[in-house]
Amino acid sequence: MARKGPPRVIVITGGSRGLGLAFVRHFLDIGDSVATCSRSSSKEITAWEAEASFADRFLFRSVNIGDTDAIRKFVHFVFERFGRIDALINNAGVAYDGVLATMPEEQIDQMLQVNLRAALVFAKECSRFMLLAEGGAIINVSSIIGKRGFSGLAAYAATKAGMLGMTRALARELGPRNIRVNAVAPGYLDTELSSTLSPQQRKQIVRRTPLGRLGRAEDVTPAVEFLLSPAAAFLTGQTLTIDGGATA
């Protein structure tokens, strides 16, 4: 169903799989223009690139988001292609679990680079164009792990907690120029990122969740759409937790 109002230009990081893919699908379906990037493509991305009706409003590029210059070039290319950037969804993420004392430092570095540093750089580059337009919105996809912690996920929790601090600070910094910054904190979702969970771990998480299941990507999309909508025009610096009641 098409959204009322003019189409927006939305940048979504990590849009080839999982939650990011659901975001891309949703915003294309309601008539927005979407630019997304990830390390590699997927069958869905390839199909959208071949879809004639999306030719003027869909863009995918393979980007190494560990490379600051690559991020900058991608964001500038998006602006040149569409003429503006209305929203950024910082979704790209990577997770490794394990006891911190024995975790390889390259895994720690990768989580810091992808989950936190890249999110800051994307916000920096996209906000420059939003500042010129005196308006925009940024959504940071954090996690309940960043709010509550979880054994074996100390480094991941640190990056996701960092995104929440970034959200609050940027909301204050950019609010005077009509740029809103909010976050969502999903619980465990039944996506590729949770595929490493053992059957026992999945059962334990479901048992501790009042709604009795893992989340789905489609459970998070409406919250993100709300945060980007006029209905949230006076909402900034906030985090919506979407976890089936697990942290209630």
Q: What digits encode the pLDDT tens for the residues 130-143? A: 999 999 999 999 99
The Cα 60–Cα 47 span in angstroms is 11
Q: Shortest CA distance to 12 belongs to which of 43, 40, 41, 33?
A: 33
Q: Which residues are catalytic?
A: 156
What is the per-residue pLDDT across 45-72, written as a single tens digit (0 to 9) for each?
A: 999 999 998 999 999 999 999 999 999 9
Residue 200: what pLDDT? 83
The C-alpha atoms of residue 95 and residue 194 are separated, in whole angstroms, by 9
19's tokens:
């939650």
Q: What is the pLDDT of residue 231?
A: 96
Contact 1, 31 (CB under 8 A): no
Q: Which residues of 39-66 are buried (b: 16+ CB within 10 A; e: fewer)?
A: eeeeeebeebeeeeeeeebbbbeebbbe
**Domain-by-domain residue ranges, the chain?**
9-189+217-235
Which tens digits make up the pLDDT trace of 105-132?
999 999 999 999 999 999 999 999 999 9
Q: What is the mean pLDDT of residues 171-190?
A: 95
User: What CATH number should be reported for the domain whose range is 9-189+217-235?
Assistant: 3.40.50.720
